[in-house]
Chains A and B, each alone.
Chain A
Amino acid sequence: MTTFAQAILSGTAQGAIYALLALGFVIIYKATHVISFAQPALMVIGGLFSYHFSAVFGLPFWPSLFIAILLGAGLGMLIERLALRPMIGKPVFTLAIITIGVDVVLRVLANRYIGADSRALRYPGGSERYEFLGLALSHRQVTIIVVTLITVVSLALFIRYAKAGLAMRATALDQETALAQGVKVGAMFALAWAIAGGLAAIAGTFIATGSGGIEQDTWIIALKALPAIIIGGLDSLQGAVIGGLAVGIIEQITAVYQAAYLPFLGTNFSLVAPYALMFVVLLIRPYGLFGTKEVERV
């Protein structure tokens, strides 16, 4: 039982990172109806920004994170302005493929910076652990959960109550009508990409503080947010958070139990378990747990 509870706790911490990434995907999707495959690159580069400011320039952890969020947001806006704005009105598939192109280019640049070693960020709390009832959670994991909680709540409040948040919701609902009401739709696209870039930078920074740091193939982690958004539903913010947590927890539980109970699935099955979960959810609910079902009228 303790093992199980521990798996859920550790999974929640990992899932919080996925939730941040998934939120980025969903916010871009809601604003522009495009799935941004550039998110992995934004995550890696955001993490590298933090790394550079704290390891090379010697800034403390939190200021580096803050600068990385701003730079990540800026990068997101830049991508939107240069690669996606010229394509407004084109099929969403085309736009999604363009983000793949952006991702490829940015990741080559990031890998050029990373080089052969891993770029690990030192977390200020060190390896201290909180222990209670036989469960242990590192200082870092607690911070991830808390930061994600704060981010998600403030984002929800922003979208619910701020004027720009209302404008974003209007844009997501209907771009032309929003335009007619005086909403600057282009600015909303930029805002969505900025938020997604910032969220990716937070996720990247916390991945950089993990055991492996940031390596050439760390970007794969960001793709695990894709099963998360499919499970939660592409256009649902709370779905993204729940999906992200579900993916993290499932991954952790598989890592703990699969070797003993389902050995035929092979080693490291936990890494692909989110995708397997995604298939199961899709077979039951094709639009995710919280997604809007598309209604087709002839």
Chain B
Amino acid sequence: MTTPNTSNIGARAYPTAGKPRPPRGRALLRTSYAQDMALLNTPAKRWSTLALIVAGFLTPLLITDDLLQVLTLGLFAAIGAIGLNLVTGYAGQVSLGHAFFLGLGAYTAAVLGGDAEGRLLGLGMPMYIWLPAAGLVAAAAGLLIGPIAVRLRGLYLAIVTLGVVFLGLHIFREANTLTGGPGVGRRAPDLELFGINFSASGGIPGVDWTRDQQLFLVALVFLVIFGVAARNIARSGVGRAFSAIRDRDVAAAVIGVDLTAHKVLAFALSSFYAGVCGALYYTVVRVIEPTSFDLLLSVQFLAMILIGGVATISGAIMGAIFITALGRIAIEIAHVVPFVSSSVTGGGLFNVFQLEGILYGLLIIVFLIAEPRGLYGIWIRIRNYWKGWPFSY
């Protein structure tokens, strides 16, 4: 990426003017607090972020609708993955309960935004009410879990949050008037903002776009908003308190971090993200089925942040897109590899769903053993290789 620039150190050690000139390339030594806190601290990062966003907005014009839908789901899932990363990656509180919060968000959105005359309870509210509400209801539930989390550590907490998923699943199954009941479910509300219905083809006036193209655009905008917000949380005082708790909670308490407040805050923030993610994700899937919020979903989100990169925002996004695309990848593999059948009942060694299951189980194991920093860690290796090129050290 960037060539090592030894003059960096000299340039900053002896500032020419009152204000230090920002160094070129990746700084080897940071000399000011502002520099340490910078969101985009290298020119390469500035340019690549810009390029990525431009490329993102061009994507709907370039690829086919079925692929676009997979990516849209990935982008929406990324919001939830970022949320899980806040509590598990940054604050170090292992949560297997993410599926419950996703479900809570999805159903809050469906009830508030749902059809008022329909079979199930619906209030017909607009999106600017149901979306924040989905986040807030989930966050409130997170606040309720918080106090239990404060008393527990590590794997005890993992088991308790697992219990939350099972209790939540029971509630979703039983609350028929809200959720439609197992096997049936209910419709997710339409994504309608500023008078534009993104869930119907040709919703944006002037351009003739399909539903999938429009939803992708919305997903990208929301992901950028929530991603930047999470990055800001992570680099602010709250984020540093989270990391301190993760690294050693006793030490964090000694240097004056309020453990209770921050653990509860981490759960509430994470649940807020999960609620928003659940509400948005199911506008693409369209039907919200109560039994889909099971332990498997929680494990999938955990896999996203582990494979993407723990305690990184970009890693969570990469992992989320990768895991949601895994089903599609399995189908593509089935076309190439002879012993995988692409139908459920057909012969072959595995069908695609089994292949998908095995793949993501194996990926979790392989990544944790070989590259615990995930996809982000692979990127760091590549960057360091080119940074030192042609030397290998």
* A contact residues vs B (CB 8 Å cutoff): 34-35, 83, 86-87, 90, 92-94, 96-98, 100-105, 107-109, 111-112, 223, 226-227, 229-230, 234, 265-269, 271-272, 275-276, 278-279, 282-283, 286-287, 294, 296, 298
Task: Tell me the residues in window 150-195 of chain B with beta carbons closer than 8 Å to chain A beta carbons.
Answer: 151-156, 158-160, 162-163, 166-167, 169-171, 173-174
Q: Tell me the complex Cα distance, A249–B361, Å.
A: 34
Seen from chain B, the residues whose Cβ lies within 8 Å of a Cβ on chain A are: 94, 148, 151-156, 158-160, 162-163, 166-167, 169-171, 173-174, 250, 254, 295, 299, 302, 306, 350, 354, 357-358, 360-365, 368-369, 372
A-B residue pairs, 3 tightest by C-beta: A266-B174, A104-B361, A101-B364
**Docked complex Cα distance between A279 and B368 (Å):** 31
Q: Give the interface SS of chain B, mostly helix, strand, loop or mixed.
A: helix
Q: How far is the CB of A116 from chain B (nearest CB, A)?
A: 9
Q: Please judge, given known A-B contacts A94-B372, A104-B299, whether A271 and B170 are in contact too, CB under 8 Å.
A: yes
Chain A residues within an 8 Å CB radius of B173: 266, 268
B250 touches which one: A226, A265, A296 (CB < 8 A)? Answer: A296
- Rounded to whole Å, the gap between the CB of A159 and the closest CB of chain B is 22
What residues on A are CB-neighbors of B365 within 8 Å? 83, 98, 101-102, 105
28 contacts between A and B (CB under 8 A): A35-B158, A83-B365, A92-B155, A93-B155, A94-B368, A94-B372, A97-B364, A98-B364, A103-B361, A104-B357, A105-B361, A105-B362, A107-B357, A108-B350, A223-B166, A226-B159, A230-B159, A230-B160, A265-B174, A266-B170, A266-B171, A266-B173, A266-B174, A272-B166, A275-B167, A279-B163, A282-B152, A298-B254
State A202–B362 Cα separation when bound (angstroms): 27
Cβ-neighbour of B148 out of A97, A104, A279 (below 8 A): A279
Q: B362 and A87: CB pair below 8 A?
A: no
A86-B152 in contact given A104-B357, A276-B167 (Cβ < 8 Å): no
Report how many A-B pairs have Cβ atoms within 8 Å.
115
Residue among A86, A97, A234 with the most chain B CB within 10 A?
A: A97
Q: Which residues of A contact B363 (CB under 8 A)?
A: 101
- Residues of B near A266 (CB, < 8 A) are 170-171, 173-174
- The DSSP consensus for interface residues of chain A is helix
Contact across chains for A98 and B369 when beta carbons are under 8 A apart: yes
B253 to A, closest residue via Cβ: A298
Query: A269–B170 contact, CB under 8 A?
Result: yes
Q: A105-B358, A230-B159 are in contact. Are A112 and B167 (CB under 8 A)?
A: no
Residue of B169, B354, B368 touching A108 (CB-CB under 8 A): B354
Taking CB atoms, residues of chain B closer than 8 Å to A226 are: 159, 162-163
Q: Please, which residues of chain B bring their CB within 8 A of the CB of A227? A: 159, 163
CB closest chain-A residue, reference B350: A112
Cα-based distance from A102 to B366 in the complex (angstroms): 10
Question: Are A93 and B154 interface neighbours, CB within 8 A?
Answer: yes
Complex alpha-carbon distance, A92 and B299, angstroms: 17
Contact B148 A275 (CB under 8 A): no
A278/B163 in contact, CB under 8 A: yes
The answer to whether A102 and B306 have CB atoms under 8 Å apart is no
Q: A94 to B372, alpha carbons, bound, how many Å?
A: 9
- A229 shortest CB reach to chain B, Å: 8
Tell me whether B364 and A96 are in contact (CB under 8 A).
no
- Chain A proximity of B342: nearest CB distance (Å): 16
Contact for B152 among A90, A276, A286, CB less than 8 A = A286
With known contacts A102-B361, A275-B167, A87–B369 Cβ distance under 8 A: yes
